[in-house]
Amino acid sequence: MNMSAKIDLLPPGCQAACRVALNQAGANADEWRSAIDRTPVSQRSALGFLLAHMPARDLATLSADFLLQNLDYAFRVRTEVPCSMVVPETVFLNAVLPYCQIAENRDVWRPDFFARFAELARRSASIQDAVQSLNLIVFDQLRVRLHPERCPSDMMSPRESIEAGWASPTSLAILLANACRAVGIPARLVRTRAWSDLTPGHTWVEVWDHGHWHFLSASEQTPYDLTWFNDLARRADSSSAACRIYAASYQRTDLVFPGIQYPDNTPVYAENVTDSYRNIQPTPVGYAPPVSHPRNYVCYRASTPLEINGRLDKPTWECAPWTEYFVDIEGHRKPAPRFLTRAKLLWDQEYLYIGAFLEEPHVWAALTQKNSIIFNDNDFEIFIDPDGDNHNYYEFELNALNTIWELTLERPYRDGGPVHRGDNLPGLKSAVAVQGTLNNPCDTDHGWSIEVAIPWSGLARYCGHSACPPKDGDQWRLNFSRVEWLVEILHGAYRKVPREAHPEDNWVWSPQGAIDMHRPERWGWVQFSSASTGTESFKRDPSWLARELLMEIYYAQRSRLEPAFSLAALGIKTIDHPSLMGPPRVERTDGGWRATLSFKDDRGTIRRLSVLPDSQLVLE
């Protein structure tokens, strides 16, 4: 049977487009002849759709087996997974059936994703429930994390992302959208090259749910249509092609997906969905974009010494910028905190000043003895490692009664400490101001604010070779944490809900990636400045990627009974980055092992950084 006769087996509506497409297949036409022959009659309409709109690269390279497997699994979910049974055919063809999202390299993902996630979708009460569950578990199961600097490419196929272990927002979106398609939920990528303020845009996912497209950001735990970029999307400029919002389409259209095309310059097709974002809800307060690098802050000089009374309405504080709102200690994979928290910092020649406001409808505290274990109450915590070596750092905690606890850790708990509790700094000052009434369950409070003045004279012993007070431009590692317990009102008094019934929440400035504040390598960066407020930009530490890779080696070694001395044995993937001078080296030492990596600092000088078995980072 000749090619023309084969095409006659397809539905009449797609035959003309398929003839044009198969002429482009060249020597690969036999694959499509085989595919048409082997496709069940009930699936030939879908096959015709795929062939009629298939990119030229795929026509010339894909195999019949690849396409038939894709068809088989796409139709299988139509009968096995309730989420897919309600999807109209036109939506199914363009947003479930296709084997690709945009111009990523093609690989086989449906069988694996179906095996992993179909049962979850079957048990879900709704499409939305299934989508939220997928966004929660997909990236853990696939062991892929957000890190634009460590992924080999901004646009990777599922297999490439899984092999790398790291992905950009675009590649994360491809993974989530494909996981949705694998269980029969229509999903597509959405992108804008730039927001209307001309800051770089973003790529996210839309899913179809009973007649409506809903948006969400991959690997972020937020409901439908509520993300950190709602305000930006609401202001999308439809008059500018660069600032419009486009949804990718397998089916050919008159529009192209922004900033992405095939190697032969064939476009990825798209729909303009800008207007659908015009009336979405504003960004909820406290929602923030996910971070792969620890947060940073520029700390400016105080114009006058501060009187420490817990109030942040002083003119001196008004000049200090706020940090971002706090997030869950594990990061963007967890829901946003119930209550808002943020902090601000100043410095002079005598003190580091820290202020914070904690939104709280019921301000309570019970502990009154200095150096009690303060996190058994709701508290605010400060962590400081001036030289950033993970050792010899300071911790401070206080509750709403201004009862404090100070500690020194020679090493993190994971490395055996030891911990010196009640190690109080002479000259430290702290205060709390309650916006409401303390320990009164009969009313609703606004919250409480704190002020702490930490003397440089007390911090000097933690500084190693770092200057104390710091010099203009110096950077220290700091983090802030808030412990929040659920309470109930019983017989006119507050009663803390036991940890067994509901563990405490931990909300932090810079996310730790785990429920563990004692990972100093994840703390934020604070840069000290003598410039006028608002005029200084944060300069990222050039050792950051080296630090991250070395700490990855540290955690890999901790997971082993015996140390390993090759990156392959440790399962470490290296990256090619201009700041890094080759891969890390792991050497035997009297102490067991030492991993070393050279990098270029901001002056182009080659420096060497090492990590030791007790997690200490040593800069040479």
Tell me what the mean pLDDT of segment 275-287 comes to: 92
pLDDT score recorded for residue 113: 97
Answer yes or no: do 113 and 252 share one domain: yes
Give the mean model confidence (pLDDT) for residues 209-238: 93
* CATH code, 90: 3.10.620
Residue 603 lies in a domain: yes
Q: Which pLDDT belongs to residue 152? A: 81
- Residues 120/121/124/125 CA torsion (nearest 10 deg): -170
- Do 520 and 557 fall into the same domain? no
Between CA 570 and CA 562 the distance in angstroms is: 11
553 and 521 part of one domain: no
pLDDT given at position 241: 86
**Same domain membership, residue 555 and residue 503:** no
Residue that is last in its domain, among 480, 506, 529: 529
Residue type for position 314 = K
Please give the structure tokens belonging to residue 149.
């600097």
Please provide residue 166's backbone torsions phi and psi, each rounded to the nearest 5 degrees: -135, 155
Domain count, the chain: 3
Closest Cα partner for 243 from 214, 279, 272?
272
Q: Is the pLDDT of residue 514 over 60?
A: yes
For the domain that residue 479 is a member of, what is the CATH number?
2.60.40.1190
Domain membership of residue 46 (yes or no) is: no
Of 108 and 237, the structure prediction assigns the larger pLDDT to 108
Residue 261: pLDDT band (50, 70, 90) is confident
Q: Classify residue 29: in a domain, yes or no.
A: no
Say if residues 433 and 452 touch (Cβ distance below 8 Å).
no
User: Is 71 a domain residue?
Assistant: yes
Residue 417 near residue 429 (C-beta atoms within 8 A): no
> Coil, strand, or helix at residue 292?
coil
pLDDT of residue 292 exceeding 60, the answer is yes
Which domain-ending residue is among 257, 277, 297? 277
What three-state secondary structure class fits 90?
Answer: helix
176-203 average pLDDT score = 95
pLDDT digits (tens, 9 = 90+) for 12-27: 888 888 888 888 889 9
Q: How far apart are CA 581 and CA 598, in angstroms?
A: 5
Answer yes or no: do 99 and 218 share one domain: yes
Q: Are residues 419 and 549 in the same domain?
A: no
- The reply to whether 238 and 98 lie within a common domain is yes
Asked if residue 218 belongs to a domain, the reply is yes
At residue 24, the pLDDT reads 87
518 plus 555 within the same structural domain? no
DSSP state of 484: E
Hey, is 368 helix, strand or coil?
A: coil
Percent of the chain with pLDDT over 70: 99
Q: Does residue 477 fall inside a structural domain?
A: yes
The DSSP call for residue 191 is E
Q: Is the pLDDT at 2 greater than 80, yes or no?
A: no
Whether the pLDDT of residue 288 is over 70: the answer is: yes
Residue where one domain finishes, among candidates 250, 277, 304: 277
C-alpha dihedral sign at 190, 192, 197, 200: positive
For residue 151, what are the domain limits?
63-277
Helix 64-80 with 29-38: angle, nearest 10 deg: 30
Q: Are 227 and 139 within one domain?
A: yes
Examine the domain organization and report whether 102 and 236 are in the same domain. Answer: yes
| Res. 293: pLDDT tops 80 | yes
Predicted local confidence at residue 4, as pLDDT? 56
Do residues 273 and 360 share a domain? no
Identify the pLDDT of residue 147: 86
Look at residue 11 and tell me if it is in a domain: no
Please check whether residue 128 is in contact with residue 224, taking contact to mean a CB–CB distance below 8 angstroms: yes
Going by C-alpha positions, the residue among 595, 591, 600 that lies closest to residue 617 is: 595
Residue 432 included in any domain: yes
Question: Mind listing the pLDDT tens digit for each residue in 427-461?
Answer: 999 999 999 999 999 999 999 999 999 999 999 99
Question: Which residues have C-beta within 8 Å of that of residue 62, sequence separation ≥ 6?
Answer: 28, 31, 54, 106
Residue pair 280/230 in contact (Cβ under 8 Å)? The answer is yes
pLDDT-derived band at 481, boundaries 50, 70, 90 = very high
**What pLDDT, on the 0 to 100 scale, is given for residue 5?**
53
Q: Could you tell me if 457 and 605 lie in one domain?
A: no
Q: What is the mean pLDDT of the segment spanning 409-422?
A: 95
Angle at 542 between CA 539 and CA 545, to 5 degrees: 120
Query: What digits encode the pLDDT tens for the residues 235-253?
Result: 998 888 889 999 999 999 9
Residues forming a β-bridge with 385: 477
Greatest Cα pair distance, the chain, in angstroms, is: 93
- Token digits for 175? 């993974």
The torsion angles phi and psi of 303, rounded to 5 degrees, stand at -70, -30
Specify the residue for token string 């600092």: 601
The 10 Å Cβ neighbour count of residue 95 is 26
pLDDT, position 334: 86
3-state secondary structure of 602: coil
Instruction: Please provide the average confidence, as pLDDT, over all residues in the chain.
Output: 93
Sheet holding 617-619, edge to edge: 585-589, 592-600, 606-611, 617-619
Reported in sequence order, the residue ranges of 503-614 that DSSP labels E, i.e. its strands, are 505-508, 524-529, 585-589, 592-600, 606-611
Asked whether the predicted pLDDT for residue 575 surpasses 90, the reply is no
Q: Is 88 exposed, middle or buried (0-12, 13-18, 19+ CB in 10 A)?
A: exposed
